Amino acid sequence: MKKLMLGNEAVARGAYEAGVLVATAYPGTPSTEITEHIVKYPEINSEWSVNEKVALEVAIGSAIAGARTVVSMKHVGLNVAADPLMTVAYTGINAGLLIIVADDPSMHSSQNEQDTRYYGMFAKIPVLEPSDSQECKDFVKLGLEISEKFDTPVILRLSTRVSHSQSLVELEEKEKIELKLYDYNPSKYVSAPANAKKRRIFIEERLNELSNFADSSDINKIEYTNKKIGIITSGVAYNYAKEAVSDASFLKFGMSYPLPEEKIKEFVQNCDKVYVFEELEPIFEQKIRSIGLNVIGKEIFPVVGELSSEIIRNALLNESKIVIEKIEGLPQRPPVLCPGCHHRGPFYVLKKLKLHVAGDIGCYTLGGFEPLNAIDTTICMGASIGMAHGFEMARGKDFAKKSVAVIGDSTFWHSGVTGLIDIVYNKGHSTVIILDNSITAMTGHQENPSTGKTLSGESTNQIDFEALGRSIGINRIRVVDAYDLKALEETIKEEVNAEEPSLIITKRPCVLIKGVKFDFKDYKIDPELCTGCKLCLKAGCPAISFDGKVAKINDSLCVGCGLCKDLCKFSAIVEVVK
């Protein structure tokens, strides 16, 4: 039976069919749906881990304990997990271990654009790269087989267009895979120098064997048609090229590290002109040139952003398909904090108080843009707290009184908690604001340690920010209603001036959480009272706009949080009496 499946859904199906028993992840676009689909298979024991490093560590333990295991994350998540990655490459595994990493070329929802194939090369482990949903499923199974055959973790590299495209997938039965015996083998798994030195030799031998496999396996395919143009490619770029120049010959890598040298030599020798069409970095191109072959690559294809059929068509055939003129000068529509979002209040106040704000990764990063403009810096998950302390290290205690760190609840557990401990331990004075909306909102509402629920929806311990703060030695802990602007302003003013570290928790559930009840009301603008001062627009709520004279509320967007009512000095925002 064929089913139309999202790439990520097909990955989950592959895990199920391959007899995977354990799956871990931290959510991150475009990888999140893998785990959201895996949890639908009760045979698989799955979890949201607090961050990617922990997710990989749990997965390594599980694989050594004998269960086929997958762990998934986005590209920047692999940076967090890089430490265990580099060593599990040495120790190897027992049952199959697949590390699924989704890259985001063009940065549709990421802070940078990085190429996970480098991590495969760095760790000297194989990287598989599917080009559609069917291959997503097939390569999960193949990846686990390679993992077990060569005693190596394997990376499955996805990209936004593979993860978030749907195509047809042939469903198959679940394989019968037994739990392997626990592999008690300290000389392999205790990576102390004496053992690691032996494994260092082993991984070079393994890489050689993997290169031979790359040449002999069907995962790397040559398709000859017209030999005038040869195209070497992988992943979704194969589909772009196939659509644009269908009559060319192709060498498609399903395994993008290590590469099949013999196949490459044969292909390049058989084609008149060979192009290397790869998304992001010139990794294939450099390898191919290093074996003395001449190919055309990044001198005509961009190294930045996603590729497309248009790019290869323009470069190779000099044809353009555009016939309808683009309408110029249109206003952009950037993403914004949702109507009713509880982060709006803290950001409004931080801006009003002119504080330096070290920001973090999540929906609330949007508080850095027009019209709130309330964030100075954003680097990576968990960085805000350490950076606020860095502000103080550089510019002293008085600067700490003019700055704060903001961080979401999930991000705090991910990697903010260690920064907070650092501040307390090193006698800093920073104020840290946890924007607690009781969910991992940015990626589409995943549970986390403060929501009281696990991935599968079971009740669990709800870890308490206040208790945690006290236990690490913070004396000043305040909890504030995020919609109460007056209380927020007073609290923040007091805490930034305190002579010790402070923790402020702004509390309100995300307005989009299903099943949460709000006591919201309907509001409208009284045009008689509105003076057109536009102060209400400063909250950056998409439900309020300005018609040239007075403000107006779009009732199809407004959720009735009433924050704007408190901003209006003329009481022009009034409750609708039903």
Partner 1 sequence: MNIVIAAVGGQGAVLASKILGTLAQNLGKDVKVSEVHGMSQRGGSVVAYVKFGEKVYSPVVEKGTADIVLAFEMLEGARYVDYLKENGKLVVNTQKIDPMPVITGNMKYPSDLSEKFEELNIGYIPVDALSIAKKAGTLKAVNVALIGVLAKNSNIKKEEWIKAIKDTVPEKFLELNLKAFEMGYNLE
Known binding-site residue numbers: 530, 533, 536, 541, 558, 561, 564, 568
Q: How many CB atoms lie within 10 A of CB 546?
A: 13
DSSP reduced 3-state for 111 = coil
Give the pair of three-digit tokens for residue 309: 């059929």
* Amino acid in position 551: A
Residue 225, C-beta contacts closer than 8 angstroms, at least 6 positions apart: 247, 248, 249
Residue 7, C-beta contacts closer than 8 angstroms, at least 6 positions apart: 130, 132, 133, 136, 158, 162, 163, 164, 165, 166, 167
Q: Which residues pair with 343 in a beta bridge?
A: none
Q: Which is nearer to partner 1, 375 or 388 (CB)?
A: 375
Strands 523-525 and 502-507, bridge-based pairing:
unpaired
Closest CB 55 distance from partner 1, rounded Å: 19
Closest CB 331 distance from partner 1, rounded Å: 4
Closest CB 399 distance from partner 1, rounded Å: 30
Q: Which is nearer to partner 1, 330 or 467 (CB)?
A: 330
Q: Which is nearer to partner 1, 161 or 287 (CB)?
A: 161
Sign of the Cα pseudo-torsion (35, 37, 39, 45, in order) = negative
- Piece of 56-64, 180-188, 243-251, 483-491 that binds partner 1 (CB under 8 A): 243-251
Q: List, in sequence order, the alpha helices (H) in 301-352.
A: 309-317, 344-352
Asked if residue 335 binds partner 1 (CB under 8 A), the reply is yes
Asked if residue 515 binds partner 1 (CB under 8 A), the reply is no
Looking at residues 109 to 128 of the shown chain, list those that interact with partner 1 (rule: CB under 8 A): 109
Could you give the CA distance from residue 259 to residue 117 in angstroms, rounded to a whole number? 11
Q: Which is nearer to partner 1, 159 or 211 (CB)?
A: 159
Taking Cα atoms as reference points, which of 255, 171, 241 lies closest to residue 2?
A: 171
Residue 285: phi, psi to the nearest 5?
Answer: -55, -45
Looking at residues 144 to 163 of the shown chain, list those that interact with partner 1 (rule: CB under 8 A): 160-161
Could you give the CA distance from residue 16 to residue 3 in angstroms, rounded to a whole number? 15
Give the pair of three-digit tokens for residue 171: 């469903």
Chain CA centroid to CA 310, Å: 27
Could you give the CA distance from residue 238 to residue 229 in angstroms, rounded to a whole number? 14
Residue from 290, 294, 318, 320 in contact with partner 1 (CB under 8 A): 320
Closest CB 89 distance from partner 1, rounded Å: 30
Binding-site residue total for partner 1 (CB under 8 A)?
61
Asked if residue 322 binds partner 1 (CB under 8 A), the reply is yes
Taking Cα atoms as reference points, which of 44, 332, 4, 353 lies closest to residue 167?
A: 4
Could you give the CA distance from residue 234 to residue 228 in angstroms, rounded to a whole number? 20
Residue from 196, 554, 569, 571 in contact with partner 1 (CB under 8 A): 554
Q: Which is nearer to partner 1, 244 or 525 (CB)?
A: 244
Closest CB 27 distance from partner 1, rounded Å: 11
- Piece of 13-21, 120-128, 501-509, 540-548 that binds partner 1 (CB under 8 A): 540-548
- Piece of 266-274, 275-283, 425-433, 441-449 that binds partner 1 (CB under 8 A): 441-449
Could you give the CA distance from residue 188 to residue 199 in angstroms, rounded to a whole number? 8
H or E stretch at 389: helix 383-395
Could you give the CA distance from residue 166 to residue 10 in angstroms, rounded to a whole number? 9
Residue from 290, 294, 332, 461 in contact with partner 1 (CB under 8 A): 332
Asked if residue 30 binds partner 1 (CB under 8 A), the reply is yes
Residue from 240, 412, 413, 523 in contact with partner 1 (CB under 8 A): 240
Looking at residues 359 to 388 of the shown chain, list those that interact with partner 1 (rule: CB under 8 A): 363, 366, 369-371
User: Residue by residue, what is the 3-state secondary structure of 195-236?
Assistant: HHHHHHHHHHHHHHHHHHHHHHCCCEEEECCEEEEEEEEEHH
Residue 273: phi, psi to the nearest 5?
Answer: -135, 130
Residue from 242, 252, 429, 508 in contact with partner 1 (CB under 8 A): 242
Residue from 8, 35, 134, 167 in contact with partner 1 (CB under 8 A): 167
| C-alpha angle 393-395-396 in degrees, rounded to nearest 5 | 70
Q: Which is nearer to partner 1, 108 or 198 (CB)?
A: 108
Closest CB 248 distance from partner 1, rounded Å: 12
Asked if residue 334 binds partner 1 (CB under 8 A), the reply is yes
97 within 8 A of 104, measured Cβ to Cβ: no
Binding-site sequence positions for [4Fe-4S] cluster: 530, 533, 536, 541, 558, 561, 564, 568
- Piece of 120-128, 143-151, 237-245, 489-497 that binds partner 1 (CB under 8 A): 237-245
- Piece of 88-96, 165-173, 187-195, 247-255 that binds partner 1 (CB under 8 A): 165-173
275 within 8 A of 296, measured Cβ to Cβ: yes
Q: Which is nearer to partner 1, 249 or 502 (CB)?
A: 249
Asked if residue 444 binds partner 1 (CB under 8 A), the reply is yes
Give the pair of three-digit tokens for residue 426: 């090193």
Could you give the CA distance from residue 488 to residue 350 in angstroms, rounded to a whole number? 9
* Amino acid in position 197: K
Q: Which is nearer to partner 1, 199 or 342 (CB)?
A: 342
Closest CB 236 distance from partner 1, rounded Å: 7
Asked if residue 1 binds partner 1 (CB under 8 A), the reply is no
Asked if residue 330 binds partner 1 (CB under 8 A), the reply is yes
Chain CA centroid to CA 92, Å: 26
Asked if residue 29 binds partner 1 (CB under 8 A), the reply is yes
Asked if residue 239 binds partner 1 (CB under 8 A), the reply is yes
- Piece of 224-232, 247-255, 332-340, 378-386 that binds partner 1 (CB under 8 A): 332-340
Give the binding site for partner 1 (CB under 8 A).
Answer: 2, 4, 29-30, 108-109, 132, 160-161, 164-168, 236, 239-240, 242-244, 246, 308-310, 313, 320-327, 329-338, 363, 366, 369-371, 442-444, 534, 537, 540, 542, 544-546, 554, 556-557
